[in-house]
Amino acid sequence: MAKTPTGKTPTGKNTSGRGQRDLKVKVKSARGRTTSSTRWLQRQLNDPYVKRAQSEGYRGRAAYKIMELDDKFRFLVPGARIVDLGAAPGGWCQVAVKRANILGERGGKAVGTILGVDLQEMEPIAGCELHVLDFMDEGADDQVKEWLGGKADVVMSDMAASSSGHKKTDHLKIMALCEAAAYFAFDVLEEGGTFVAKVLAGGAEGELQKLLKQRFTKVHNIKPPASRSDSSEKFVVATGFRGDPQQVS
C-alpha cells in the first residue's frame, strides 16, 4: 500500500514504527534574517515532501508533483520521448528517467529519451540528456527535434518567472511563460502527445485554456497533493494533441 510523505497509509495508520507523531521543528529568528525567510525556512524544515525528497535522492519536492500527475494521467510511459522545459534543478527529469527510460524486468527493452533544457547548466542525471538552451530562441524547436531524433511524446514545464513581489504582475508573467511553452509544444509534439505545465490561478489563464482546447482532445486542471495548499499554483494536463486546427489535411 502506498504511503503518504508522513509515513502513514491512506487509512491513517502510522508505519514509521515510532508510535508517535513527528515533532514540529521551530526556527528562531536570527540577526540578518528577515521574518519571511524565517517562515520559509521553518516551512521547509517541516515539509514532509522536502524530507522525503532528501531521503529518496530527488533534487526537490517538485518531483512528487509530476509523480502524482503521472499516476493520474499516465503520460510518462516506457519508451516515451520527453522534453522538460526549464528543467533545473532536475527533479522532473529524475522521475521521467525512472518511468520512461527503463529496462523491462523480464528482459524486454523500453528505453525512452528524456531531454532537459534550461538556461543554466545542471548536474548530470543518468539516463537523461541535459542541454543549455533558451526554448524561446529561433530554431530551438528544430534543435530539440534533432536531439530527440524526431518529435516528442510529452512536453512538460514547471517553470515560473522570477517574482517581482506584485501578485498580478507575477501572474501575468508566468502565464506568458506558460503560453510560450505551449506554442513550443505545438511545434515539437507528436500527434496524440501530452503537454503538462504549471499555471497560477488569477484570471488570466482563460486564453491558455481556449488555446489548448483547440489543439488537444482533453484539457485537465488539477492541483496535486504535493502542491502546497497555500500556493495559487495548479497544473494543466492537455492530452491527445491534434495539431494545428487551421491546417487542412
Is 198 annotated in the active site?
A: yes
**Hey, is 202 helix, strand or coil?**
coil
Q: According to the annotation, is 84 in a ligand binding site?
A: no
Q: Calculate ∠ Cα 201-194-248, nearest 5°.
A: 105
Q: According to the annotation, is 158 in a ligand binding site?
A: yes
Of these residues, 72, 173, 198, 210, which one is catalytic? 198
Q: What is the Rg, in whole angstroms, of the alpha carbon atoms belonging to the chain?
A: 19
Q: According to the annotation, is 134 in a ligand binding site?
A: yes
Q: According to the annotation, is 230 in a ligand binding site?
A: no
Q: Quick one: CA dihedral 155, 161, 167, 169, positive or negative?
A: negative
Kindly state the helix (H) or strand (E) to which residue 240 belongs, with its residue range. Answer: strand 233-241
Q: According to the annotation, is 40 in a ligand binding site?
A: no
Which of 169, 225, 226, 230 minimizes the C-alpha distance to 202?
169
Kindly state the helix (H) or strand (E) to which residue 182 belongs, with its residue range. Answer: helix 167-188
The C-alpha atoms of residue 217 and residue 159 are separated, in whole angstroms, by 24
For 56, counting Cβ atoms within 10 Å of its Cβ (0-12 exposed, 13-18 middle, 19+ buried), the class is: exposed
User: How far lies 222's CA from each of 46, 67, 200, 212, 247, in Å?
Assistant: 24, 13, 11, 15, 30
The residues annotated as belonging to the active site are 198
Residue numbers belonging to the annotated binding site: 90, 92, 118, 134, 158
Residue numbers belonging to the annotated binding site for S-adenosyl-L-methionine: 90, 92, 118, 134, 158
